[in-house]
Amino acid sequence: MTTAPVAGPADSAQSSVPETASQLTTTQETLYFALRNRKLVIGSAIVIALLAFAIVGPFIARHGPLDYTGHLSWAPTTRSGHWFGTTLLGQDVFAQFATGLRLAFLVGVVGGGIAATIAMLIGFTAGYRGGALDEFLNMITNIVLVIPTFALLLVIAAYLQVRSVMVEAILIGITSWPWAARAVRAQTFSLVSRDFVDMARLSGRSQMQIIFTEIAPNMSSYLFMMFILLFGGAVLIAATLDFIGLGPSGTISLGMMMQLSVQNAALQLHLWWWFLPPGIAIATLVGSLYVMNVGLDEVFNPKLREM
Partner 1 sequence: MSLVVDDLRAYYRTLAGDVRAVDGLSFTLADGEIMGLAGESGCGKSTLAKALIRLDTRMRYIGGHVVLDGVELPIWDDALMNERRFRDVSIVPQYAMSAMTPTRKIGRMIRELLESRGVDGHALEPELLRRLELVGLDPGVLSLYPIELSGGMKQRVVMVISTLLDPSLLIADEITSALDVSTQKAVAETLVEFRDRGFVKSVIVITHDLSILAQIADSILVMYAGKLVEKASTAEIVEEPLHPYSRLLISSLPEVGVRYDEHKLAGIPGRPPQLLDPPSGCRFRDRCPLATERCAKDPPFVRAGDDGRFVACWEAAC
Partner 2 sequence: MRRYFLRKIVVYTVTFIVAVTVDWAIPHLMPGNPVLTLMGRIQIQDPQTAQNMYHHYMRAFNLDLPLWKQYWYFWVSLFHGDLGTSIVQFPAPVSSIIVHAVPYTLGLLIPATLLSWYAGNKVGALAARRKVLDNSALPVSYALTATPYMWLAIILVFVFAVTLGWFPVGFAYDPTAVRGFTWSFVSNLAYHWFLPFLSLFLVAFGGWAIGMRNMIIYELESDYAHYLEALGAPQKLVRKYAFRNAVLPQVTGLALALGAILAGALATEIVFSYPGLGYQIYRAITNEDYFVIQGIFLFIIIGILVANFIVDVVYLVIDPRTRVGMEGGRT
- Which residues within the stretch 4-23 sit at the binding site for partner 1 (CB under 8 A)? 16-23
Least CB distance to partner 2 at residue 144 (A): 9
> Is residue 17 a contact point for partner 2 (CB under 8 A)?
no
Nearer to partner 1, 19 or 195 (CB): 19
Nearer to partner 2, 21 or 132 (CB): 132
Least CB distance to partner 1 at residue 189 (A): 17
HEC secondary structure over 18-78: CCCCCCCCHHHHHHHHHHHCHHHHHHHHHHHHHHHHHHHHHHHCCCCCCCCCCCCCCCCCC
* Beta strand extents in 216-281 (DSSP E only): none
Least CB distance to partner 2 at residue 250 (A): 17
CA distances, 156 to each of 16, 117, 119, 150, 275 (Å)? 52, 22, 22, 10, 27
CA 307 – CA 305 distance, rounded (Å)? 6
- Which residues within the stretch 212-241 sit at the binding site for partner 2 (CB under 8 A)? 232, 236-237, 239-240
> Is residue 158 a contact point for partner 2 (CB under 8 A)?
yes
Cβ neighbourhood burial of 169 (10 Å; 0-12, 13-18, 19+): buried
CA 12 – CA 196 distance, rounded (Å)? 15
- 6 touches, from partner 2, partner 1, none (C-beta below 5 to 8 Å by class): partner 2
Q: Binder to partner 1 among 146, 151, 155, 307 (CB under 8 A)? A: 307
Q: Please tell me whether residue 206 adopts helix, strand or coil conformation.
A: coil
| Beta bridge pairs of residue 92 | 86
Q: Binder to partner 2 among 187, 275, 299, 300 (CB under 8 A)? A: 275
Task: Return residues touching partner 1 (CB under 8 A).
Answer: 16-24, 29, 307
Task: Return residues touching partner 2 (CB under 8 A).
Answer: 1-4, 6-9, 11, 139, 142-143, 145-152, 154-156, 158-161, 179, 232, 236-237, 239-240, 243-246, 255, 258, 261-262, 267-268, 270, 272, 275, 278-279, 282-284, 286-287, 289-291, 294, 303
